[in-house]
Amino acid sequence: MSLSTTLISVDLVAFKLASNNRLQVLTHQLPENPLPQLPAGRIEAEQDQSLEDTAKRQLERFTREPATYYEQVITIGDNHRDSRGWSLTVIYYALLRPCDEQLLSDDARWIDIIDGQPAELLAYDHSQLVMEALERLRNKIQYSALPIYLLSEAFTLSDIQAVFSVILGKAPPMRSIRNRFLSNETLMETGDKRYGSNRPAALYRINLASENILFDRLYLSTQG
């Protein structure tokens, strides 16, 4: 296979939080393969103006819930990862809000992430791709506003703290959450509150004008 016929595709690792506060990854099943796999597809020159457009198309094939965030993770390629010959794949991850299972296509499903990897073996090298994307997410949420892109449109500061706990296995104290997310224009109050057993908690939403804000790093390491 020559360079001009190399298979070029985009693989998408789409993450969301389940109602039980467990991270999940979107997969789908092909009749000819007993193992679930990630959304992936070739670049369509007439449709895609960028690699992110290709990633968005892959997501739209399997869920009607749009992603709140996309990021390119890594590009990999060799002459043996695809049985058809030389292949080059660009890996993206996407973050989604909690969403209804009814928004999925019939052949798609969410799989839990347990101990840093999919709870089920994925086809090809897709389990490794999930771990690559998760490592990037674990690193970046420590100095960015990414946790809020996994939450519903309205959320509390405690919800943000829970995202850190799920992704990193530990969470910063609430004072750090307040200092980080309320000291600038990252969030905007909705004017509503969530009522529960404790005192009412203010509900916030993302201020889209501040999505690229970066912070000091929370932890020196993502381990522990």
Residue pLDDT, tens place only, 181-220: 998 888 999 999 999 877 899 999 998 776 667 788 876 5
Per the DSSP assignment, residues forming a β-bridge with 155 are: 204
**What pTM was estimated for this model as a whole?**
0.90
Contact 217, 138 (CB under 8 A): no
Calculate the average pLDDT of the chain: 89
Phi-psi region of 54 (alpha: psi -120 to 50; beta: other; left: phi over 0): alpha
Per the DSSP assignment, residues forming a β-bridge with 72 are: 92
Architecture of the domain spanning 3-140: Alpha-Beta Complex (3.90)
Residues 135 and 124: their CA atoms lie apart, in Å, by: 19
Residues 95-127: pLDDT tens digits?
999 987 788 999 999 999 999 999 999 998 999
Phi-psi region of 124 (alpha: psi -120 to 50; beta: other; left: phi over 0): left
Residues in the chain: 224
Residues 116-161: pLDDT tens digits?
999 999 998 999 999 999 999 999 999 999 999 999 999 999 999 9
Give the per-residue pLDDT at 101: 79
Q: Do domains 3-140 and 146-210 have the same CATH topology?
A: no
Given a cut of 90, whether residue 13 has pLDDT beyond it is yes
Contact 32, 85 (CB under 8 A): no
Q: What is the dihedral of CA 183, 184, 189, 194, to 10 degrees?
A: -40
CATH fold for the domain made of 146-210? Arc Repressor Mutant, subunit A (1.10.10)
Residues 199 and 139: their CA atoms lie apart, in Å, by: 33
Nearest Cα to 121, choosing from 40, 16, 35, 13?
35
Lookup: tokens for 157: 């500061």
pLDDT band at 4 (very low <50, low <70, confident <90, very high): low
Give the per-residue pLDDT at 207: 87
